[in-house]
């Protein structure tokens, strides 16, 4: 039962590990990492959808490794979107904490504790999350979880890449359908909210409609179309997968 939180072995995904993975593969990571670090790294890479259950590189890995050298921010933001779907501790962090406030380690352990889990298991998972925020641009650079002696604060420091936002909306579309109301992106429903632009990137409730209209202008109505006004608007997505869309806009 604890596997979903214990699998990272208290280690977060680090920038240097991701760089080595893209450039030299898992074999090189096994050389530079200790045994527990390697297991934790593999778990993060799998949750990021960069490797599959057999430790083989995925289609997404091919897309992101191809732009890693020039679009590092985008790569990390796409990974963050995927972790919102696949990582239990990241999902809990995004759905149960608020922007523009700081949380102590003890507060995070209490807030992010699912029913039936031991405090030590949750504490280790929080340590892994905090380690990732500290050792990658997700924390200090982007502001998704700024680590300090006082705790962890969520405060947006850089606007996300447009391609990452579009990818995020398409991931939401996997849950909500190809057509959905903007209001669905605003509800604090834990099952959906953790993957919305608001939870993942700090887009304000008032800014969601402007964001969607901006994506429509940037990428065209073929990929995203908004109908209606304000929070009553509806979003219509193309009948393709998030991977397909990402590949299209990265051409």
Express each pLDDT in 116-141 by its tens digit.
Answer: 899 999 999 999 999 999 999 999 99
Domain 162-249 matching CATH 1.10.10: the answer reads yes
Yes or no: say if 44 and 26 are a contact pair by the CB < 8 Å rule.
no
Residue 71 predicted with pLDDT over 90: yes
CA torsion through residues 219, 221, 223, 227, sign: positive
Yes or no: say if 1 and 116 are a contact pair by the CB < 8 Å rule.
yes
CA angle 44, 69, 152 (to 5 degrees): 45
| Whether the model pTM is above 0.75 | yes
Residue 3 predicted with pLDDT over 80: no
The 10s digit of each residue's pLDDT in 137-161 is 999 999 999 999 889 999 998 899 9
**Could you tell me which residue, 231 or 239, shows the higher pLDDT?**
239
C-alpha to C-alpha distance for 44 and 37, rounded to whole angstroms: 11
pLDDT grade, residue 27 (50/70/90)? very high
Residue extents of the structural domains in the chain: 3-153, 162-249
Residue 113 predicted with pLDDT over 60: yes
- Residue 27 DSSP SS3: helix
**Could you tell me which residue, 190 or 43, shows the higher pLDDT?**
43
The 10s digit of each residue's pLDDT in 33-68 is 999 999 999 999 999 999 999 999 999 999 999 999
């Amino acid at each position: 039962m604890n596997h979903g939180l214990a699998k990272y072995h208290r280690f977060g995904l680090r920038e240097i590990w991701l760089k080595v993975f893209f450039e030299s593969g898992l074999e090189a990571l096994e050389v530079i990492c200790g045994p527990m670090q390697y297991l934790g790294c593999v778990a993060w890479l799998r949750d990021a959808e960069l490797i599959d259950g057999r430790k083989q590189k995925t289609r997404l890995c091919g897309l992101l490794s191809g732009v890693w050298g020039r679009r590092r921010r985008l790569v990390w933001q796409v990974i963050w979107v995927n972790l919102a779907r696949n990582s239990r501790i990241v999902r809990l962090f995004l759905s149960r904490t608020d922007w523009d406030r700081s949380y102590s380690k003890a507060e995070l352990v209490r807030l992010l504790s699912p029913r039936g889990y031991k405090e030590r298991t949750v504490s280790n998972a929080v340590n892994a999350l905090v380690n990732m925020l500290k050792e990658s641009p997700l924390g200090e650079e982007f502001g998704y979880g700024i680590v300090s002696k006082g705790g962890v604060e969520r405060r947006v420091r850089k606007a996300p890449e447009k391609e990452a936002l579009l990818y995020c909306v398409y991931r939401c579309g996997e849950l909500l359908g190809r057509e959905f109301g903007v209001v669905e992106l605003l509800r604090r429903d834990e099952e959906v909210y953790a993957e919305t632009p608001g939870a993942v990137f700090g887009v304000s409730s008032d800014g969601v409609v402007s964001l969607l209209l901006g994506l429509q202008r940037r990428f065209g109505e073929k990929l995203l179309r908004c109908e209606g006004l304000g929070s009553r608007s509806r979003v219509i997505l193309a009948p393709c997968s998030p991977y397909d869309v990402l590949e299209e806009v990265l051409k």
